[in-house]
Amino acid sequence: MEKNNFFQSQQVQDFNKSIEKFHLGPLWHAIPDLMHHEPEPQTIAYLWKWETLYAKLMEAKDIFTPDRGGERRAIYLQNPGLKNREPWGWASTTQTLYAAVQLILPGETAPSHRHTQSALRFITEGEGAYSIVQGERIFMEEGDFLTTPQGLWHGHSHTGEVPMIWMDCLDIPFIYGIGGTFFEPYPEKIEPPSVPDNYTAKRYAGGMVRPISDRKPKVAPLASYKWSLTQQALDGLSEFEPDEYDGFAVEYMNPSTAQTSHPNIASWMQKLPTGFVGKAHRHTSASIYHVFKGSGYSVINGVKFEWSQGDYFVVPNWAWHEHVNTSNADAYLFSCSDLPIMEKFNLQRDEAYEENNGTQTITDTFIPLLP
Ligand code: GTQ
């Protein structure tokens, strides 16, 4: 019998229906939808313009305040491909990661809590607020990368003068998907300091050394990775040949384990020098990018995504992508991905785009939504 006739035959359809009420399903019906020959993620390539995010954060200023309940003034990136997906009822940014923009105003306090998700913050605007993670007040400046390891108390408070905005990324969808969510509010509004301010950045010299007493820390020992040190690292790297896909790129590491900064999330800062034209490749991990500085475009599965400072975009799993800096200044992209998850489950694979000298043919241009 022909394959399609088989699926449509009365006998098969009757049988499929007859087992449904016993909470049973026919594998022959499910297999083509579930076991693809290669990744067919529901995550789609998408780009959010900074103008839109900023306008909505400004509107949210008066609608949400930390005093009105809720935890954070954060607006998260909903991947259109992941909307209305069972069993979520909410959309994440990729199938494993959630990203958001968070705004805190001078005088505000976002209460302390702890949870089993790991969090990172990348600071994009302002100064003067601190995040307090397990008793350490970490004062934040533009370009800093902060870790909030799973299970540690953390809250934010703004003692400065200007609004502060940062990117959050957490493994919320992954932890939700495997049924591992725990969340606990701190008994008081915000945890009081128990160690000196900026304790870990000072004691670890940005990750280069560790104090004699900290030989076996249980958690990532470094809470903030300062922009000045990241910039220095990129400048050092820039004396050499760029990576053909990613230009000059460094990964944030946990200095005690020499692994990724977070167990389920890897993060990078990359510099694409003026005129950089990257080659295309693809990998099983999915990435979320934030344009920290500069402008250019990325081609994702043949579609051109033009980006400029402040924008966010998603490169789905197994999607061909290449980056190009079209401006006359260096471009800096912050990105994070679920590469550590792919590595742990033996799913990490990558592939170079061999045709056309590594350059995709552009078939379409993405039109972003503006406020
Ligand atoms: O700032 O602690 O975007 O707990 C989502 C969950 C931010 C935070 C988010 C969080 C936080």
Cα 72 to ligand 1 centroid, rounded to whole Å: 6
Task: Calculate ∠ Cα 75-77-82, nearest 5°.
Answer: 135
Tell me the pLDDT band of 3, cut-offs 50, 70 and 90. Answer: low
Give yes or no for residue 1 having a pLDDT over 60.
Answer: no
Ligand 1 pocket mutation, candidates 90, 146, 168, 290, criterion most atoms within 8 A of CB: 168
Tell me if the bond preceding 26 is cis, omega within 30° of 0. no
Cα 348 to ligand 1 centroid, rounded to whole Å: 28
Taking only the tens place, the pLDDT of each residue in 88-127 is 566 899 999 999 999 999 999 999 999 999 999 999 999 9
Collapsing DSSP states into helix, strand and coil, what is residue 57? helix
pTM: 0.96
Tell me the pLDDT band of 212, cut-offs 50, 70 and 90. Answer: confident
- State the distance between the two ends of the chain, measured CA to CA, in whole angstroms: 55
Nearest to 292 by CA among 253, 249, 258: 249
